[in-house]
A and B are shown apart, each in its own frame.
Chain A
């Protein structure tokens, strides 16, 4: 009986280790953070400290005194001013071929963008969107403001 328990425990341990090994690769890293900045991931709110990883499907929220800067794996630079809500809807990048895809939404606030390697390799696989507008990227640097937006 005890043996069986051990076998089950081992199997579970192995399973969870395998689960960890398959954890998703981060899409980027927080490089600057000031004031209140939160990463929303799977219903949790995490403080976005410098060095924190950012994953596809994360949302980033800045408070009235907040700002945040993120470098994605393809060298895209995203940064947001106060009272902003961004979502990294989609991010995929292969550092060997430079192929990838990216979709970023801004619901409110201010966002500055300097695109990276994906934009150079496959610009058609990138979009930035606001509640009413979709931006196609043919080049490198731009800013977006959404004055009033919903929180969802």
Chain B
């Protein structure tokens, strides 16, 4: 009986999994971070927290199983093929106190941004300006907005439609390199361009 159970149960689960009416499979995260999905139904809740951990439901019966890259490809291949390209962020830097002069290295980076935009279907952008901590909060809010506007203008000049670009300025609130107030820090005089 025990032996039969050991043979029959996995077989039963395989059959049920094969014609499942609902299925969830956790995929490995792209950035290697810990990842999990909590599956809740009227019976209770279960946590899927390993790559390819799956949960199937059939005739009101939920059970966990281990899926595989091959199974995911077979069932979800077309959905995964339709997945949009992952959003990507770029950073360009400004010369000190300047709202319109990118550093020479950033001018080169801007060319990479343009190529990235051209490679994407229906590209959209979020452009966020930042400053270092030299000057007042208010002044830096304005400066960060001006920097974002400069990048927006550069993008429009490069052929992108203005309504695809959202801009924001965060002043000195989010320094890339934390510093004391009134410290000039080139790495903080930047604009993040997020392409999606």
- A residues with a Cβ closer than 8 A to B are 29-34, 50-51, 67-71, 75, 77, 79-82, 84, 95-96, 109-112, 114, 116, 130-148
Q: Determine whether B79 belongs to the interface, using a CB cutoff of 8 Å to chain A.
A: yes
> Count the A-B residue pairs with Cβ separation under 8 angstroms: how many?
158
For A111, the chain B residues whose CB sits under 8 A away are: 79
| B143 vs chain A, min Cβ distance (A) | 17
For A114, the chain B residues whose CB sits under 8 A away are: 30, 83, 86
Q: Determine whether B114 belongs to the interface, using a CB cutoff of 8 Å to chain A.
A: no
Nearest chain-A residue to B84 (Cβ)? A31
With contact pairs A135-B39, A136-B37, A146-B22 given, residues A80 and B82 touching in the complex (Cβ less than 8 Å): yes
Nearest chain-A residue to B23 (Cβ)? A145
Q: Chain B: interface residue count, which band?
A: 35 or more
Give Cα A112–Cα B79 distance, bound, in whole angstroms.
Answer: 6
Q: Determine whether B70 belongs to the interface, using a CB cutoff of 8 Å to chain A.
A: no
For A132, the chain B residues whose CB sits under 8 A away are: 22, 41-42, 57, 60
Known: A67-B82, A71-B196, A141-B30. 11 other contacts (CB 8 A): A29-B124, A112-B76, A114-B83, A135-B24, A135-B39, A136-B45, A141-B28, A143-B23, A145-B76, A146-B22, A147-B20
For B34, the chain A residues whose CB sits under 8 A away are: 139
B168 touches A95 (CB 8 A): yes
Chain B 21-56 near chain A by CB (<8 Å), digits 1 or 0: 111111111110111111111100101110000000
Nearest chain-A residue to B53 (Cβ)? A142
A81 touches B79 (CB 8 A): yes
Q: Determine whether B75 belongs to the interface, using a CB cutoff of 8 Å to chain A.
A: yes
B72 touches A139 (CB 8 A): no
Q: Determine whether B166 belongs to the interface, using a CB cutoff of 8 Å to chain A.
A: yes
Nearest chain-A residue to B28 (Cβ)? A141
- B residues with a Cβ closer than 8 A to A are 19-31, 33-42, 45, 47-49, 57, 60, 62, 72, 75-87, 120-122, 124, 126, 166, 168, 170, 194, 196
Residue of B25, B28, B86, B168 touching A77 (CB-CB under 8 A):
B86
For B33, the chain A residues whose CB sits under 8 A away are: 139-140
Nearest chain-A residue to B21 (Cβ)? A147
Give Cα A50–Cα B121 distance, bound, in whole angstroms.
Answer: 7
Nearest chain-B residue to A138 (Cβ)? B36
| A36 vs chain B, min Cβ distance (A) | 13
Give Cα A50–Cα B41 distance, bound, in whole angstroms.
Answer: 35
For A136, the chain B residues whose CB sits under 8 A away are: 37-38, 40, 45
For A51, the chain B residues whose CB sits under 8 A away are: 121-122
Nearest chain-B residue to A111 (Cβ)? B79
| B161 vs chain A, min Cβ distance (A) | 10
Nearest chain-B residue to A141 (Cβ)? B27
For A75, the chain B residues whose CB sits under 8 A away are: 87, 194, 196
With contact pairs A77-B84, A77-B86, A110-B79 given, residues A141 and B19 touching in the complex (Cβ less than 8 Å): no
For B48, the chain A residues whose CB sits under 8 A away are: 142
For A84, the chain B residues whose CB sits under 8 A away are: 79
B29 touches A139 (CB 8 A): yes
Interface CB pairs A-B, < 8 A, 11 = A69-B83, A79-B84, A80-B82, A81-B76, A111-B79, A112-B80, A112-B82, A139-B26, A139-B49, A140-B31, A145-B23
